[in-house]
Amino acid sequence: MKILLMGNPNVGKSVLFSRLTGVQVIASNYPGSTVGYTRGQMKLGSSAAEIIDVPGTYSLDPTNDAERVAVEMLQDGNVAINIVDATNLERNLYLTLQLLERKIPVVIALNMWDDTQHLGIHLDLEKLQNLLGVPVVPTVAVSGIGIKTLVEKIPQSVSGNYPVISPDERWALVGKIVSQVQQITHRHHTWRERLADASVRPLSGMFIAFAVLAAAFALIRFLGEGLIGYVFDPLFNLLLPPLTSLSNTLGGGGLLHDILIGKMINGQIDYLQSLGLLTTAIYIEFAAVLPYVFAFYFVLGILEDTGYLPRLAVLMDTILHRLGLHGYAIIPTMLGLGCNVPAILSTRILESKRERFIAATLISIAVPCASLQAMIWGLVGKEGPQYLLIVYGTLIIVWVLMGFIINKFTKGFSPEMLTEIPPYRLPPARALAQKLWMRVKGFIVEATPIVLGSVLVVGLLYAVGVFDAIARFTAPVVTGLFGLPKEAVTAIVVGFIRKDVAMGMLAPLALTANQLVVAAVVLAMFFPCIATFVILGKELGLKDTLRATAIMIVAALSAGGLLNLILK
Amino acid sequence: MFGFKHRFGRQHLPAVNGLIPLTDLANGQSGVIHSFQGGQTMEQRLNALGARQGQRITRIGGMFMRGPITVKIEKSQIAIGFGMAKHILVKVQDENFVNG
C-alpha cells in the first residue's frame, strides 16, 4: 500500500512523516523545506505500508514544479493523508476538496491543533467530518499528539463524494464549509505578532536583520572557538604521545611514516603542517571543521525553525531583484554557508530555470561552505580580523557583481516574489537537536572518507613527484597572477576534492597575511568541490553547468588577480 | 503579461469608489480585494495563498525601493512582490463599516 502525505507548504508534513516512519527528515519553519520527496515505511496493522512525504502544494493545478511533482505522485497513491493547518482552514480546504474530487481515499490530519486555542479559533470537528465525509483527526505533529489515532483511522479512509467543480465554485464551497464549522473569538495582539510585523517593515526590519545576523555570527564564532579551545584541542593534545611513539616505531621517516604521520616539523608532529592521515587529516576534520559545522547548523536550525528566514527574504528582495533573483533566494544562499550541496538542491524552491541557474552559479562561486570557512577563520583569522573582513568583503562584492552581470546577460526576466510568511514559533528543543544531529552525522559520514582519501592521494602524488610537474606548468598563473608560491597549486588542485583540506595544505607554506587572503578567496571561488560539481551538473544540465564553469573560471582569475594587485 | 499596464492606467487609476492598487494602501489599513489585473497564472497563485476577490486584506508592511508588500489575509501573512501587488485592486472600506 502506498500512502501519500499531502498538504499546503509548511503545515508540518515532514514532522508527521518522521513521526509515522521513524525516518529522520529535515523539517523547517518555511514553505518549501521539502523539495524532493522522501519515502519511508510504516507498520499498518500486520502489513507494511510505503509512505511518501510529498512536497507542499496549495492546489492540484500545477503552477510550479513542486505541484507538478505532487500531481504526478497522486496517480499511484492508494491513500492520501491530507495534512491541514487547523489555524488556516479556509486556505487549506481548497486542496482537500480537490483531493476529494479525485476519488482517492482521504483521511485528514488537522495539524497544529494546539495553536487554534490561543488564536481564539473554535472548530466543530464532528460537523467538519460530516460535511467532508472523511475521517478528521486533530494532531500536533511536533509533540506527537493524535498520531496514534491518525494511524488507526487510515483503514477507514474513504474517497470523497464530490463532483469536479470550477475553482470559483470550489472556493465558494470552502467558504460555506468554514462558516459552518469555524468560530473566531477576538483576542489581542501577542508580542510574537508585533515582532512579526516589525520584521517586515523597512527600518525596524533592517535593524532586526542586522541584530539577528550579528548575533548568529557571534554565536557561531563563540561556539566554534569554544569547542576547539576547550574540547577538541585538549583531546588532540592527549593523542600526541601515542602518535609520537607510533612515529618512532615507524622509524621517523619513510613512505608509510610520511603517509600516516606526515613530515615532522622541528622533530615534532604538527597537526596543521605534518599532512599525515592520522595527524592533519583527522585534525582538520574533527578539531578544526567539525566544531564550526556543529555551531553553524545549530544556529541555522534556530533561524529556520523560528520562521525568521522568510522575513529575511522579504527584506533582501529589493537587492536580490537586481541580481535577477527574488528574496526567497536568500534561503538557498544561507544553506550554502553550511554546505553547497543541499543549497543547490534547494534552489528548486525558485520558480524559473533562469533563477535557479543564477542562484546555483552564485552559490557555487561566491558562497564558501562551513568547512572552508572554519579553515579560513583558523588560518586567516590568526593574522587579524581585518584580513577576514577582506576575504568576506571580496566574496560579497563578487556575489553582487556576478549576479548583476549574469542577470544582464541572461535572457528572460525574474518573477515576482510571492510567499507565505509563517508565524514565529518557538522551536521545540527536541526537533532542533534531531535536525542538528542529522546534519552533523551527515557531515561526518560524507566528509571522513573524502578527507582521508584526499590526504592519502596527495601524499602519494607528492611522493612520485606529480605535483612538482603541475606546479611548474601552472606557475605563470599561480605565481604571476595570484602572487602565491608555486607550491600553492597543490592546494588549488586539492580544492576540487575538499576545500578544508585544501586550505590546510597552505599552512606549511609560510604565506604572508596578504597571500593567505588571496589564496582563501581563490580557493572559495575556483571550482566547487567535486560533490557540489556533481549536484550542479544534475540540477542545471550539461550546457548550463559548462556556462557556470566558464563564468567561475573568469571570475576566480580576475578576483584573485585584482586582489593580489591591490594588496601587493 | 505586460499589456495590462496601459489598461490599468486608463480604467482604474482614477480612484472611483475608493479603488486603489494594493501598493497604495497604508500600513495597517485594510480593504477588500476587488480584482486582479495580471493574468490567470498570477490570479491562481494568489488565490491559492488565500488572496481572492472579496477577501479582506490588511497591509502590514512594505519595503522601500519597491520591495515586497506584506499583507494579512485571514490568519495568514503573505509577501507579494511590488510588481504583482500593483496589479491587485483594493476597495478601501470606510472605517465605520468595518466590523471585525
ipTM reported for the complex, 2 dp: 0.82
Mark yes or no for CB contact B27/A58 under 8 Å. Answer: no
Separation of alpha carbons A390 and A521, rounded Å: 9
| A–B interface: beta-carbon pairs under 8 A | 104
DSSP string, A452-511: HHHHHHHHHHHHHTHHHHHHHHHHIIIIIIT---TTHHHHHHHTTT-HHHHHHHTGGG--
As a whole number of angstroms, the longest Cα–Cα distance in chain B is: 38
Of the candidates A396, A420, A400, A213, the residue with the CA atom closest to the CA atom of residue A325: A400
Is residue B57 within 8 Å of residue B64, measured between CB atoms? Answer: no
3-state secondary structure of A550: helix
Per the CB < 8 Å rule, is A63 touching B49?
no
**C-beta of residue A334 within 8 angstroms of C-beta of residue A522:** no
Contact A121 B75 (CB under 8 A): yes
Interface test mutation site (partner A, options B78, B80, B86, B88, max chain A beta carbons within 10 A): B78
CB within 8 Å: A418 and B78: yes
What band does B4 get if pLDDT is binned at 50, 70 and 90? very low
Rg value, chain B, Cα = 13
What separation in angstroms does the CA of A459 have from each of A243, A271, A272, A472, A530?
A: 18, 15, 15, 18, 19
| Nearest Cβ partner for A58 among B48, B52, B80 | B48
Alpha-carbon span A195 to A355, nearest angstrom = 31
Which residues does residue B57 pair with via DSSP β-bridges, in sequence order?
Answer: B31, B73
- Residue B13 has what pLDDT? 45
Measured CA distances, A385 to A14, A143, A237, A525 (Å): 41, 43, 27, 21
User: What is the pLDDT tens value at each position of chain A, 568 positions in all?
Assistant: 899 999 998 998 888 998 898 877 777 777 777 777 778 888 887 888 999 988 888 998 877 777 787 888 888 899 999 999 999 998 999 999 999 999 899 999 999 998 888 788 899 999 999 999 999 999 999 889 999 999 999 998 888 888 999 988 999 999 999 999 999 887 666 777 788 888 888 889 999 999 999 999 999 999 999 999 999 999 999 999 999 999 999 988 888 998 899 888 888 999 988 889 999 999 999 999 999 999 999 999 999 999 999 999 999 998 999 999 999 999 999 999 999 999 999 998 888 899 999 999 999 999 999 999 999 999 999 999 999 999 999 999 999 999 999 999 998 888 889 999 998 888 888 889 989 999 999 999 999 999 999 889 888 888 888 888 888 888 899 999 999 998 899 899 889 889 999 999 999 999 999 999 999 999 999 988 889 999 999 999 999 999 999 999 999 999 999 999 999 8
Q: Which residues contact A36 (CB under 8 A, 6 or more apart)?
A: A55, A345, A348
Identify the pLDDT of residue B2. Answer: 40
Q: CA A355, CA A349: separation in Å to the nearest integer?
A: 10
Nearest alpha-carbon partner for A199 in A309, A336, A116, A39: A309
Residues of A in contact with B62 (CB under 8 A): 201-202
Instruction: Name the residue among B37, B76, B69 with its Cα closest to residue B55.
Output: B76
d(CA A500, CA A288): 9
- A537 has a chain B CB within 8 A of its CB: no
For residue A194, which residues of chain B lie inside 8 Å, CB to CB? none
Are the beta carbons of A314 and B77 separated by less than 8 Å? no
What integer is the mean pLDDT of B19-43?
91
CA A164 to chain centre: 39
Residue A458's alpha-carbon distances to A294, A441, B25, in angstroms, are 27, 26, 63
Task: Say what the pLDDT of residue A344 is.
Answer: 94
Paired with A419 in beta bridges are: B79
**Interchain CB contact of B39 with A (< 8 Å):** no
| Residue closest to A328 by CA, chosen among A345, A348, A342 | A348
Interface test with A, best of B37, B52, B73, B86 (most A CBs within 10 A): B52
SS (H, E, C) B75-99: CEEEEECHHHHCCEEEEECCHHHCC
Contacts of B80 in chain A (CB under 8 A): 416-418
Are A318 and B67 a contacting pair at CB < 8 A? Answer: yes
Nearest CB to B49 within list A87, A91, A326: A91
Question: What's the number of CA atoms in the CB half-sphere (13 Å) around residue A374?
Answer: 33
- Rounded Cα–Cα distance for residues A401 and A387 (Å): 21
Does residue A267 belong to the interface with chain B, where contact is any CB pair within 8 Å?
no
When CB atoms are compared, the residue of A201, A315, A418 closest to B84 is A418
Amino acid A427: pLDDT: 85
**Residue B1 pLDDT greater than 50, yes or no:** no
CA gap A79, A5 in Å, rounded:
9
**Orientation angle between helical segments A513-525 and A353-366, nearest 10 degrees:** 150
Mutate which: A195, A200, A201, A320, vs B, most B CBs within 10 A? A200
Check residue B69 and give left, alpha or beta (phi > 0: left; psi -120 to 50: alpha).
Answer: beta
Tell me if chain B has a CB within 8 Å of the CB of A342: no
Burial of residue B56 (CB within 10 Å: 0-12, 13-18, 19+) is middle
Using an 8 Å Cβ cutoff, are A522 and A492 in contact?
yes
Q: A3 - beta bridge partners?
A: A51, A79
* Best residue in A29, A319, A419, A424 for a mutation probing chain B (most B CBs within 10 Å): A419
Query: Which residues of chain A lie closer than 8 angstroms to B74, CB-CB?
Result: 88, 90-91
Alpha helices in chain B (DSSP H): 4-11, 40-48, 82-85
Question: Is pLDDT above 60 for B14?
Answer: no
User: Is B11 in CB contact (< 8 Å) with chain A?
Assistant: no
Compute how many other C-beta atoms are within 10 angstroms of the C-beta atom of residue A561: 17
What gap in Å lies between CA A290 and CA A349, rounded to an integer?
28
Q: B47 — contact with chain A (CB < 8 Å)?
A: yes
pLDDT at B56: 92
pLDDT of the residue at B17: 66
Closest CB to A200 among B46, B70, B83: B70
Q: CA geometry: angle at A521 spanning A519 and A524, to 5°?
A: 105
Considering only alpha carbons, which residue of chain A is nearest residue B74?
Answer: A88
Dist. CA A119–CA A117, nearest whole Å: 5
- Check B79 against A421: CB less than 8 A apart: yes
Residue B78 touches partner A, C-beta closer than 8 Å = yes
| Element housing A565 (H / E) | helix A530-567
Q: Which three three-digit cell numbers place residue A8?
A: 499546503
pLDDT of residue B99: 43
The predicted pLDDT at position B100 comes to 39
Spell out which residues of chain A touch residue B50, defining contact as CB-CB under 8 Å: 88, 90-91
Residue A406: all three cell numbers together? 549574469
Are the C-beta atoms of residues A117 and A24 closer than 8 Å to each other? no
Of A197, A327, A420, the CB nearest to B78: A420
The pLDDT of residue A265 is 86
Please state, as a whole number, how many other Cβ atoms lie within 10 Å of the Cβ of residue A546. Answer: 12
What confidence score (pLDDT) does residue A55 get?
Answer: 86
